[in-house]
Amino acid sequence: MKQRIMVFMLVVIGVFTIPFIASGQSPTLNLLAGEKATITCQGQKLVLSRESSTKASASCTANSNPSPTNTPTSSTPPPPPTATPVASVPLCPDHDPTKWHALYDEARNCHYNHEHHSDPREGDNIFGPVAALYGGQEISYPWQTFSDRGLENDVKHEGYKWVVRKNMDCSSRFTDGCLTDFRMQVHFIASAVDATVRYHSFWLEARGCREDNPEVCGIIRTGGWADYGRLMVDNQHIPLPGDPPAPTNSNKLHYIQTGNSRFTTWYGGNRIATTAIQTSRMWGLINPNDPYQLHLFCPDFKCRNNNSTMQAHAIGFVIRANELDQDGDGLVNYEGYTNRHGEIVSGCTEVGLDCVPLQIINMPTGLFQYRDDEHGRGNDGGINFDTSPEGEYWIAYPN
């Protein structure tokens, strides 16, 4: 590959560093398929502007040598350390159930027996501080689900998982627009304990753009309870109390004979959002004759069937023009509340079970979706968050 030196236009930014010398010229770099490049500005600031899915421009502004200033104080805490876990560290004695954590805690030099997937602070540069609309709580929220056993975060805390995706191409096969970025928290324990439950809580922040005009983009923040409908095993409905009275598009798909029993896809959402998720690391299969029976592929937890992956299969939302586009210009700006099912409500004075924040900023009307039909990055259904050292198994049920 030839050395690329002076660059304004680039297709893919990646591995090779390209020093840029500000000279007033506007050279062009054409990359072949598979090639990657990095651009470096020796001036004051590098400004990137995407023109299409195959073309972007960069400009390097002159260095004006400004006077030094004090480093500003950030309201967002820095991401946790990402050092390689050390073998044989002890189990962490306790932790704050409202705070996100990975499997390994470098600061305390201990490990947990569960993890919460992606660090939600990875999305702060797009969506701002985590949970800003409901008090900054990183794990769970005021509209958590509940049962006769107690609140979701008290009895099934380990099941809260974050998924963060950023800088994706604007592509949507079935809808008006795409998602280029999203940050989502869902509750998902891939075993009988959650597969037999119809509703699970969620929070979604997403940046959506029109596919026919990717420069027209907006942001939505919404949450509530996702309705995952009926339990299906080998394409057969397993009746449960509280099932929808008729079939819907919301289903939890599990397999024994007709597919991989370690793989599941849950299709669900509420009136505004779609939250379809999947994993290839089920804790155990679902017994169609006794769906509440806990089955574990590894009762001693010494295998990787531990719900340590989760792929966002279909994530999206709908902006209804007849409800929200008051001036008919095709763009919506709105701030208010919905109930847990995604229906707009009035009279809310604080966040609660049926007062879930809804914020829409410059969002085009229509249906927007991110969809992954390749089942994640790699071959096992998503990013793997089990960072246990070789030969050790830190994760325990019900991660």
Q: Does some domain include residue 59?
A: no
Q: Does some domain include residue 199?
A: yes
Q: Does some domain include residue 219?
A: yes
Task: Kindly report, residue by residue over 76-101, the tens digit of the pLDDT.
Answer: 333 444 556 777 899 999 999 999 99
* pLDDT score recorded for residue 327: 92
The answer, yes or no, to whether residue 333 has pLDDT greater than 90, is: yes
Within its chain, how far is the Cα of 257 from the centroid? 31
What do you get for the CA distance between the two ends of the chain, in Å?
Answer: 46
Task: Kindly report, residue by residue over 361-371, the tens digit of the pLDDT.
Answer: 999 999 999 99
In this structure, the strands spanning 213-227 and 236-238 are unpaired
Q: Does some domain include residue 395?
A: no
Instruction: Give the tokens for residue 311.
Output: 């792929």
What is the extent of the structural domain holding 125? 104-374
CB 209 within 8 A of CB 316: no
Distance from C-alpha of 177 to C-alpha of 171, rounded to nearest angstrom: 7
Of how many residues is the chain composed? 399
Q: Does some domain include residue 246?
A: yes
**0.85 surpassed by pTM:** no
The answer, yes or no, to whether residue 343 has pLDDT greater than 80, is: yes
Task: Kindly report, residue by residue over 279-331, the tens digit of the pLDDT.
Answer: 999 999 999 999 999 999 999 999 999 999 988 999 999 999 999 998 999 99
- CA angle 153-342-226, nearest 5°? 45
Structural domains counted in the chain: 1
What confidence tier does 265 reach under pLDDT thresholds 50, 70, 90? very high
Give CA separation, 180 vs 118, 122, 126, in Å.
17, 14, 11
Q: Does some domain include residue 228?
A: yes
* pLDDT score recorded for residue 63: 37
Q: Which amino acid is at 383?
A: I
CB 75 within 8 A of CB 379: no
What confidence tier does 383 reach under pLDDT thresholds 50, 70, 90? confident
CB 120 within 8 A of CB 162: yes
Q: Does some domain include residue 69?
A: no
Instruction: Give the tokens for residue 305.
Output: 């069937």
Task: Kindly report, residue by residue over 222-259, the tens digit of the pLDDT.
Answer: 999 999 999 999 999 999 999 999 999 999 999 999 99
Q: Does some domain include residue 331?
A: yes
